[in-house]
Structure 1
């Protein structure tokens, strides 16, 4: 009888522990959704601020989980930071480089999240070709493991008018969600001259051309996603409109 009671107590403890376990991916989604819905998000910010490196490493096992989580975090805190203090956008270099997002036991900058974690320790100004070799433990633990998914450039919103719209992403449907947002954004940003076979598209494909496989890779992407009818022979890039634009949200269809 004593052994039975001990076993019952142990199982009850495990069940309670399981019920109380925080799923940080859900918290990130709730944070961004509350911002979109104009609801309070203080609870989610606090939960994330109290997370540890071990918490996130244990939960975020796949690149899909990591990317969905960090894109939601990035987009949410861009909205929070620039809504609270839009004047910070006057010095964008300082804005993106300032450590401000408390998570995983660290204070992270937007550059840390984008270039360190999601882009696997790439140097910010290198056209996507150069990698940072000496990085802190938290970055090595949290960053993606595989190849850079170039579609992240059409999911991250940095607060500018030319940025892609903000949507809530999930690890389970990330490919479908990324493909939808990529297609919609590139259609809006790209023109094609059939006579000269020249495409003109968003500057993101130039700034991070290494992520896209160079200009030739970008041309293949435009054709693959049916943004243009033929693979371009020449590729030009539009000027980026850095006018501050918050609240540019979009719902991804089921």
Structure 2
């Protein structure tokens, strides 16, 4: 009888712990959902601020899980930071470098999240060709492990008018979600001159050209995604509009 009661207590405790376990991917999605719906997001901010490196590394095991989580975190905190203090955008360099997102026992900047975690320790100003070495433990544990995912450039919203819209991402459907956002954004940003075979598209292709396989790779992407009817011979770039523009949200169809 005593063993039976102990067994019941054990499984009851285990069930309670399981029910109370925080799923940080869900928290990041809820954060963005509340921002979009103009509801309170303080609970989600607090949960993320109290997370530890062990919490995140035990949950985010694959690159897909990591990217979906960090896309939602980045886009959510961009909205929060600039809603709270839009004047910070007047010095964009300082804005992106400033540590402000408390998570995993660290206070991260937007540059940390984008270039160190999602772009696998790339030097920000190098067209993507240079990597950083001898990185801190948190970065090595949280960053992606495999090949760099170039489609994140069409999913990250930095608060400017020319940025891709904000959407909510999930690990389960990330590939199709990124394909949808890439296609929609590039269609909106790209024009093609069939006589000169020149595509004019977003400056992101130039700034992060190594991520796309160079400019040749960028031209191939435009053809592969049927943004242009053929692979362009030349690629020109539009001026990036850095006018502050918040609340640019897009729903990804099921």
Relative to the length of structure 1, the TM-score reads 0.99
Deviation for aligned residue 1:8: 1.3
Deviation for aligned residue 1:144: 0.4
- Residue deviations 1:83-110 (CA, integer Å, cap 9, x gap): 0000000100000000000000100000
Q: Residue 248 of structure 2 corresponds to which residue in structure 1?
A: 248
Alignment partners' CA distance in 2, 1:129 and 1:239: 22
Q: Residue 101 of structure 2 corresponds to which residue in structure 1?
A: 101
Alignment partners' CA distance in 1, 2:12 and 2:85: 47
Deviation for aligned residue 1:2: 1.2
Deviation for aligned residue 1:185: 0.1
Q: Residue 32 of structure 2 corresponds to which residue in structure 1?
A: 32
Q: Residue 87 of structure 2 corresponds to which residue in structure 1?
A: 87
Could you say what the CA RMSD is over the residues aligned between the two structures, in angstroms?
0.5
Deviation for aligned residue 1:5: 1.2
Determine helix, strand or coil for the equivalent of 1:160: coil
Alignment partners' CA distance in 2, 1:192 and 1:102: 43
Q: Residue 52 of structure 1 corresponds to which residue in structure 2?
A: 52
- Do structure 1's residue 215 and structure 2's residue 215 form an aligned pair? yes
Moved over 4 A (4+): none
Alignment partners' CA distance in 2, 1:210 and 1:246: 29
Alignment partners' CA distance in 1, 2:204 and 2:140: 25
- Residue deviations 1:28-53 (CA, integer Å, cap 9, x gap): 00000100000000000000000000
1:1-254 → structure 2 map (5 Å cutoff): 1-254=1-254
- Residue deviations 1:60-92 (CA, integer Å, cap 9, x gap): 011110000000000000000000000000100
Alignment partners' CA distance in 1, 2:108 and 2:235: 35
Deviation for aligned residue 1:7: 1.3
Unpaired stretches in structure 2, ≥5 consecutive residues: none
Relative to the length of structure 2, the TM-score reads 0.99
Alignment partners' CA distance in 2, 1:187 and 1:96: 27
Determine helix, strand or coil for the equivalent of 1:28: helix
Deviation for aligned residue 1:134: 1.7
Determine helix, strand or coil for the equivalent of 2:178: helix
> How many matched pairs?
254
Deviation for aligned residue 1:112: 0.3
Determine helix, strand or coil for the equivalent of 1:211: helix
